[in-house]
Structure 1
Amino acid sequence: MTDSTPRLDHVVLWVRDPVASASFFEKAVGLRPWRVAEYAEGKAPFCSVRINEETILDLAPLPLAERMEVVPGAAASAGHPVHHVCLSLPRDGFDALRSRLEEQGVPVSDLSHDSLGARGKAKRSFYFRDPDGNVFEARHYD
């Protein structure tokens, strides 16, 4: 039997410097980079970071936007704000992420409690920005 449950495969973030963004997501957020060397060598149009085995964030350079006319008006989406992307972590991963961000001087919001998400009410959550201004929320449910 095949699992037909929809899943989030990837989110494309428009960034100024994909290699620097991959480094930020690796060092500050703890995500594993993917295809960075290929991108740096000109063998891939963008690089990515892996959230889990099924989901990645593609780090697309802004000049790529002009070639992204997949539907009318799509190229104009570069820099168009998405409010935020939320990462759900276990409690220890949540605490480790907040500590890494603070150690690297990344501003973080105050903690929120009991905010509603895909799995019900999250015990704690907070927000931060990547170097390109994309907003992320981190939360844990346990």
Structure 2
Amino acid sequence: MKDNTPRIDHVVLWVRDPLAAADFYEKAVGMAPLRVTDFAAGTAPFPSVRLNEETIFDLLPLAMAERMTMVPGAAGSAGHPVNHVCLSLPADGFEALRDRLEERSVPVSDFTYDSYGARGPAKRSFYFRDPDGNVLEARHYE
């Protein structure tokens, strides 16, 4: 049977310094870097980081905003991040992420409990910001 369920392919985040952002997402969040060396060499327009086998975050330099002409007004989206992106992790990955963030002195919120998400109420969640001010939530279910 063919699965026609939509999935998230990528999320685009505006960042001031793509290399610093890639370093944050790799070392603090635990995502695998993609095309970082190519970006640094000038052969890729931006680096990315892999969330899972199906989804990546593209780290677009704010300087590219003026070239976003595929949709009217798209250039104006720079500096207007989405409310937040939520990462779902198993309990041990959730704890490891919080530990890495705290080791790097990244401010994290208090825990929230039983907040509703894609899989129902999450056991625990917390929020943090990346260096560019994008807000992320981390959660785990039972």
TM-score by length of 2: 0.98
Aligned to 2:117: 117
Residues 14 and 81 in structure 2, CA contact (< 8 A), matched pair in contact too: no
The percentage of counterpart residues that share the same residue type is: 74
Aligned residue for 1:44, secondary structure, equals coil
Q: How many angstroms apart in 2 are the aligned matches of 1:70 and 1:107?
A: 36
Aligned to 2:65: 65
Specify the code of the residue in structure 1 equivalent to 2:82: V
Aligned residues: 142
Aligned to 2:93: 93
Structure 1: 5+ residue runs without aligned partners?
A: none
Query: Residue 14 of structure 1: CA displacement?
Result: 0.3
Specify the code of the residue in structure 2 equivalent to 1:73: G
Specify the code of the residue in structure 2 equivalent to 1:70: M
Q: How many angstroms apart in 2 are the aligned matches of 1:111 and 1:101?
A: 14
Report matched runs for 1:20-99 at 5 Å.
Answer: 20-99=20-99
Q: How many angstroms apart in 2 are the aligned matches of 1:78 and 1:88?
A: 26
Structure 2: 5+ residue runs without aligned partners?
A: none
Query: Residue 70 of structure 1: CA displacement?
Result: 1.0
In the TM superposition, structure 1's runs of 4+ consecutive aligned residues that sit over 6 Å from their partners are none
The superposition leaves residues 78-110 of structure 1 with CA deviations (integer Å, 9 ceiling, x where unpaired) of 111311000000000000000000011000000
Provide the aligned C-alpha RMSD in A.
0.7
TM-score by length of 1: 0.98
Query: Residue 3 of structure 1: CA displacement?
Result: 2.0
Aligned to 1:13: 13
Specify the code of the residue in structure 2 equivalent to 1:121: P
The superposition leaves residues 56-95 of structure 1 with CA deviations (integer Å, 9 ceiling, x where unpaired) of 0000000111111111000110111311000000000000
Residues 14 and 78 in structure 2, CA contact (< 8 A), matched pair in contact too: yes
Q: How many angstroms apart in 2 are the aligned matches of 1:2 and 1:42?
A: 40
Aligned to 1:136: 136
Q: How many angstroms apart in 1 are the aligned matches of 2:118 and 2:4?
A: 18
Q: How many angstroms apart in 2 are the aligned matches of 1:81 and 1:34?
A: 22
Query: Residue 123 of structure 1: CA displacement?
Result: 0.1
Aligned residue for 2:107, secondary structure, equals coil
Specify the code of the residue in structure 2 equivalent to 1:40: A
